[in-house]
Amino acid sequence: MAFSFLQHLECPRCHAIYNADEQAHLCSCGSPLLVRYDLAAVKQYLNKEMLQRREPSLWRYHELLPVRSPEHVVTLGEGMTPLLPLQRLGPSLQLDLYVKDEGVIPTGSFKARGAAVGVSRAKELGVEVLAMPTNGNAGGAWATYAARAGLDAFVVMPEGAPLITRNECAISGAHLYLVNGLISDAGAIVGRAVKSHGWYDASTLKEPYRIEGKKTMGYEIAEQFQWEVPDVIIYPTGGGVGIIGIYKALQELQQLGWIGERLPRLVAVQSTGCAPIVKAWQEGQAVSEFWKDSSTIAFGINVPKALGDFLVLDAVRSTDGYALAVDDNDLLQAQADLASQEGLFVCPEGAATLVAARQLRASGWIKPSERVVLLNTGSGIKYPDTVQVSVPLLQPQDDLPA
Amino acid sequence: MAFSFLQHLECPRCHAIYNADEQAHLCSCGSPLLVRYDLAAVKQYLNKEMLQRREPSLWRYHELLPVRSPEHVVTLGEGMTPLLPLQRLGPSLQLDLYVKDEGVIPTGSFKARGAAVGVSRAKELGVEVLAMPTNGNAGGAWATYAARAGLDAFVVMPEGAPLITRNECAISGAHLYLVNGLISDAGAIVGRAVKSHGWYDASTLKEPYRIEGKKTMGYEIAEQFQWEVPDVIIYPTGGGVGIIGIYKALQELQQLGWIGERLPRLVAVQSTGCAPIVKAWQEGQAVSEFWKDSSTIAFGINVPKALGDFLVLDAVRSTDGYALAVDDNDLLQAQADLASQEGLFVCPEGAATLVAARQLRASGWIKPSERVVLLNTGSGIKYPDTVQVSVPLLQPQDDLPA
């Protein structure tokens, strides 16, 4: 039986079809492309019981991933991250509340999923050099997986991106550059370089396979809840690939008949310092406008204009979801609450989802007893600067106070 | 059927027996205590096939862990970390070489295993306040799990311990103190405080349950290789709990009849700047001497005198293993090699194991084609200072060089 049931690429805007076995980037209409599978054949062949005995990584879903040959799989064991009940914060909000913890994955960030599948497929298609802009974590992940695959990687990140992600790129042997600007500036530099040098453009949504890695979060949430999807999934939204991927995964699971009609309401969370998608959602627009002078401590969601904004807005609207922006100070408080009350040291972006849950519960949009999943996109240990610590210094002869 | 087949505590030195359902620390003879199970009953009840359908965490082995009731399990989804083949470095050394990657675990370090099981059992035994010295990662892990359990934690760490581990303790709500000294100074402070205040002493090997968490690395390596143990396991050794635990796990698996007579040769790796166990092994001593003025960039193995030294030496000798010290410069080179050639950004302690493999292969102690596992105890992202990065800064209008 085929390892992958990959069929073709499809434009979600103009519905043009592309050959999946050639390198492809955007549709000629400018839209990102989505990967399509022969789901009817998957439905005949694969069943939930078969999954149970497979290894705890995202590759357990290989029929629904785009890599045709197992020998091209580039893996560091990513996926099947913990889904953890919040035993204090849940009851305090009268919710059945969970965190899907993407801190427990290679590179400490959910970006590993997109990189694992994206790099694997790039390698399978014969790519030798890739290039991308990043706010840090995606660069770290793609540099890491490119090293494992033996590919060359060029990475451009804003000067202000988290320091540890520089380390990841540099030690992995990537060609790393900083830019005195935002990710949009980094993107423009990469765009020119890709054109000049013929490199593979691995920018967010400019190749179709990163979404396929990210969508496995949706499969895992469904599988971990025994195929009973939750009422609400709250997602920190920058480029939006995660929420697009989760929505795509849920639609595929419906077509396989593995989940029912009801979908979780998808919530996109942004920062009040950078909220283009929230603004577009509030105004009923199909696309967002560039957010000027954006700024937030949650660096991963400092994306002033996302290429896939219309897909995010569609995912939110089609599931009767919500979009809201949260304040950096609330986010830091939520980060401390998750650590001290639940033992979860999440990244600032992940903490934003708890702020959103609190606000949506207070407004009544989330009802008592609903099952809600907060998506924590990475580990707090990658962001040492967001924690302010002042610690007493003892001499060896000193005693601890009671 | 019982969740745990816990039987009693036993002193490995004088063979005294203690009640496992009361709080216990060291034996009256001064030795750490080991946890014993009714392995005959486990053998009758549990089989390898039953494990296959269980969740991918260390709690899949709950019959062989000391927590009697599932409701006392304090978990963040730890365990079943990736076991990854080294596809370039392996062939270059003519070895079937793997990394067991403990970076992919809550808190980014193998210390999570000991903390998960140790805190769970402490909670089950009614502990409310625990205290411990640490070189950083153990403190971060125990603070995190204590927060999840709702316990109070006092943590004392050397001023020079990795900064990120301070963050973990502080944000988790632990009472954190630095000491102008080494872990041995921190240990003395904790020792006095425990005596004065009646707190639970969670220092390395001063409670019997941390080993039980760590030993699951041994179970997992065996299970991940379909119960065919490798020829050699190389372990970075500070306090030595990991190597003691792996040896204990292998002995238990033998008693269950799940693995054969042959055990992997266990290799203890230390730094040339702190090598008390290597010195004792070379000199044929049963215990080590305090290593004066110890210093190494691999902070986790800067332990001048380990309470369990005699158990480490026994594990190494009983398996026809080896003990060796490696140089900090070699270790940094090995860290870079693992990242750039294999996509594995390991911690300095983990990198030491590759140096050891190279030296033991060069000396002929490891033979061609042997199956060797390097134990990487944590993620490189927790040690930003060990990577020196110099990155070109671009302006938005600049171009990338080819």
Q: Which ipTM value was assigned to this complex?
A: 0.95
- pLDDT band at residue A383 under the 50/70/90 scheme: confident
Which of chain B's residues have a Cβ under 8 Å away from the Cβ of A402? 196-197
Closest CB to A84 among B77, B399, B402: B77
Q: Decide if A1 touches B, using CB distance below 8 A.
A: no
Rounded to a whole number of angstroms, the distance from the CA of B320 to the nearest CA of chain A is 31
Rounded to a whole number of angstroms, the distance from the CA of B144 to the nearest CA of chain A is 5
Q: What is the mean pLDDT of residues A256-267?
A: 97
Is B231 within the bounds of a domain? Answer: yes
A391/B178 touch (CB, cutoff 8 Å), yes or no: yes
- pLDDT band at residue A348 under the 50/70/90 scheme: very high
Which sign, positive or negative, has the C-alpha torsion B206, B210, B215, B217? negative
Q: What is the tens place of the pLDDT at every residue in A144-155?
A: 999 999 999 999
A342/B166 touch (CB, cutoff 8 Å), yes or no: no
Q: What rounded mean pLDDT belongs to chain A?
A: 96
- Separation of alpha carbons B224 and B233, rounded Å: 14
Q: Which of A259-263, A382-386, B280-284 has the least mean pLDDT?
A: A382-386
The tokens of A328 are what? 């950096």
B159/A393 touch (CB, cutoff 8 Å), yes or no: yes
- pLDDT band at residue A300 under the 50/70/90 scheme: confident
Is A187 within the bounds of a domain? Answer: no
Pair A322, A312: CB distance under 8 Å: no
Closest CB to A167 among B167, B193, B389: B389
Which of 276-335 (B) contact A at CB < 8 A? 335
Pair A374, A98: CB distance under 8 Å: yes
A339/B172 touch (CB, cutoff 8 Å), yes or no: yes
- Separation of alpha carbons B133 and B122, rounded Å: 17
Which sign, positive or negative, has the C-alpha torsion A273, A274, A276, A281? negative
* The predicted structure's pLDDT at residue B401: 85
- pLDDT band at residue A339 under the 50/70/90 scheme: very high
Does pLDDT of A388 surpass 90?
A: no
* The predicted structure's pLDDT at residue B295: 92
- Report which residue type is found at A2: A
Does pLDDT of A402 surpass 80?
A: no
- pLDDT band at residue A304 under the 50/70/90 scheme: very high
Q: Decide if A148 touches B, using CB distance below 8 A.
A: yes
B340/A172 touch (CB, cutoff 8 Å), yes or no: yes
Does pLDDT of A390 surpass 90?
A: no
Is B247 within the bounds of a domain? Answer: yes
Which of chain A's residues have a Cβ under 8 Å away from the Cβ of B173? 339-340
DSSP assignment string, A13-56: TT--EE-TTS---S-TTSPPPEEEE-HHHHHHH--HHHHHTS-S
Is A352 within the bounds of a domain? Answer: yes
Which of 33-52 (A) contact B at CB < 8 A? 52
Q: How far apart are the first and last CA of chain A?
A: 65
Optimal mutation site among B99, B109, B345, interface A, most CBs of chain A within 10 A: B345
Largest CA distance in chain B: 74
B178/A381 touch (CB, cutoff 8 Å), yes or no: no
Q: How many residues does chain B have?
A: 402
Does pLDDT of A109 surpass 90?
A: yes
- Separation of alpha carbons A102 and A111, rounded Å: 9
Which of 85-114 (A) contact B at CB < 8 A? 88, 101, 103-108
Cite the DSSP H helix spans in B181-320.
183-197, 210-224, 241-256, 276-282, 309-318
* The predicted structure's pLDDT at residue B53: 86
CATH number at residue B289: 3.40.50.1100
B178/A52 touch (CB, cutoff 8 Å), yes or no: no
A400/B77 touch (CB, cutoff 8 Å), yes or no: no
What is the helix (H) or strand (E) element at residue B236, kind and residue range? strand B232-236
- Separation of alpha carbons B350 and A297, rounded Å: 32
**pLDDT string in tens for chain B (402-residue length):** 899 999 999 999 999 999 999 999 999 999 999 999 999 999 999 999 999 889 999 999 999 999 999 999 999 999 999 999 999 999 999 999 999 999 999 999 999 999 999 999 999 999 999 999 999 999 999 999 999 999 999 999 999 888 899 999 999 999 999 999 988 899 999 999 999 999 999 999 999 999 999 999 999 999 999 999 999 999 999 999 999 999 999 999 999 999 999 999 999 999 999 999 999 999 999 999 999 999 999 988 999 999 999 999 999 999 999 999 999 999 999 999 999 999 999 999 999 999 999 999 999 999 999 999 999 999 999 988 888 888 999 999 999 987
Q: What is the tens place of the pLDDT at every residue in A174-188?
A: 999 999 998 889 999
Q: What are phi and psi of A195, to 5 degrees?
A: -65, -45
Q: Decide if B336 touches A, using CB distance below 8 A.
A: yes
Instruction: Give, in degrees to the nearest 5, the angle at Cα A171 between A167 and A173.
Output: 125
B389/A131 touch (CB, cutoff 8 Å), yes or no: no
Is A393 within the bounds of a domain? Answer: no
Number of structural domains in chain A: 1
Q: What is the tens place of the pLDDT at every residue in A114-172?
A: 999 999 999 999 999 999 999 999 999 999 999 999 999 999 999 988 889 999 999 99
- Separation of alpha carbons B136 and B178, rounded Å: 10
Is B199 within the bounds of a domain? Answer: no
Domain hosting A221: range is 83-108+211-383
Q: Decide if A167 touches B, using CB distance below 8 A.
A: yes
- Separation of alpha carbons B19 and B11, rounded Å: 12
Q: Where are the beta strands (DSSP E) in A134-284?
A: 152-158, 175-179, 200-201, 232-236, 265-271
Q: What are phi and psi of A270, to 5 degrees?
A: -125, 180
A147/B340 touch (CB, cutoff 8 Å), yes or no: yes
The tokens of B155 are what? 């943590």
Is B292 within the bounds of a domain? Answer: yes
- Separation of alpha carbons B154 and B131, rounded Å: 4
What's the order of all strands across the beta sheet hosting B34-37? B17-18, B6-10, B34-37
> Using the 8-state DSSP alphabet, how is residue A372 labeled?
E
How many interchain CB pairs under 8 A, A with B? 242
- pLDDT band at residue A68 under the 50/70/90 scheme: very high
* The predicted structure's pLDDT at residue A401: 85
Q: What is the mean pLDDT of residues A282-298?
A: 95
Closest CB to A104 among B105, B177, B178: B105
Is B277 within the bounds of a domain? Answer: yes
